[in-house]
């Protein structure tokens, strides 16, 4: 039997990502975001949702770009810290020992320690209540070469130790239980 609860966002787990951004003056920041998702594959598009009172919100709105940096178990402490401390009060890069890498297609930096950085240009901002949704086109993806199989060119996200967020807690991703289409694949 199930209980009825008041409406809420109970879609978990979600990726826990660090979004790097910068304003026109070159001031930059990192914000931890879990309200993120894929919108479209062709063209490649994604969204992040950010509260307007957050320090990074104004930077993203001004520059209309940001970089999504995937997080790992090694980055878990920085991921949490960047989510609870404000860039108004701290240099999150220095506090967390993170390194800036210059963007290729955007002017904001990416996080060098992230296994995958997704550079984005905002196409639309939708005010939705507590959060505003930044709909963005992916303009470049930067992948850690140590996670690319030299024989196949495939990127091994499973080896990256990615983390996710579930209702106030961080978790490292677990064991693979299947692959897309495995339930209908013909056995040899």
Position 80 scores a pLDDT of: 97
Position 187 scores a pLDDT of: 77
**Are residues 45 and 84 in contact, defined by beta-carbon separation less than 8 angstroms?**
no
Q: Which helix (H) or strand (E) holds 69?
A: strand 65-70
* DSSP annotation of 47: E
Position 175 scores a pLDDT of: 84
**Are residues 105 and 119 in contact, defined by beta-carbon separation less than 8 angstroms?**
yes
Per-residue pLDDT of the chain (188 residues; tens, 9 = 90+): 999 999 988 889 999 999 999 999 999 999 999 999 999 999 999 999 999 999 999 999 999 999 999 999 999 999 999 999 999 999 999 999 999 999 999 999 999 999 999 999 999 999 999 999 999 999 999 999 999 988 999 889 888 999 999 999 999 988 888 888 988 988 77
How many other C-beta atoms can be found within 10 angstroms of the C-beta atom of residue 1? Answer: 2
pTM (two decimals): 0.94
Architecture of the domain delimited by 14-172: Roll (2.30)
Domain range annotation of the chain: 14-172
Compute the CA torsion angle 171, 175, 178, 180 (nearest 10 deg): 50
Residue with tokens 């978790």, as numbered in its chain: 171
Residues 95, 81: Cα–Cα separation, whole Å? 9
**Are residues 17 and 70 in contact, defined by beta-carbon separation less than 8 angstroms?**
yes
């Amino acid at each position: 039997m199930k209980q009825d609860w008041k409406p809420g966002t109970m879609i978990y787990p979600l990726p826990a990502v660090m979004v790097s951004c910068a304003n026109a003056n070159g001031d930059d920041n990192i914000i931890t975001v879990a309200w993120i998702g894929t919108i479209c594959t062709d063209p490649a598009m994604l969204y992040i949702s950010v509260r307007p009172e957050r320090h990074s919100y104004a930077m993203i709105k001004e520059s209309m770009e940001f970089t999504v940096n995937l997080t790992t178990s090694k980055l878990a402490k920085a991921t949490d810290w960047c989510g609870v401390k404000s860039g108004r009060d701290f240099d999150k890069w220095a506090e967390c020992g993170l390194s800036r890498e210059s963007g290729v297609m955007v002017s904001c930096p990416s996080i060098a320690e992230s296994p995958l950085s997704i550079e984005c240009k905002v196409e639309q901002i939708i005010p939705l209540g507590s959060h505003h949704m930044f709909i963005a086109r992916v303009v470049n993806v930067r992948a850690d070469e140590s996670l690319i199989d030299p024989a196949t060119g495939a990127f091994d996200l499973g080896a990256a130790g990615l983390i996710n967020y579930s209702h106030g807690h961080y978790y490292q991703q677990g064991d693979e239980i299947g692959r897309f289409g495995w339930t209908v694949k013909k056995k040899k």
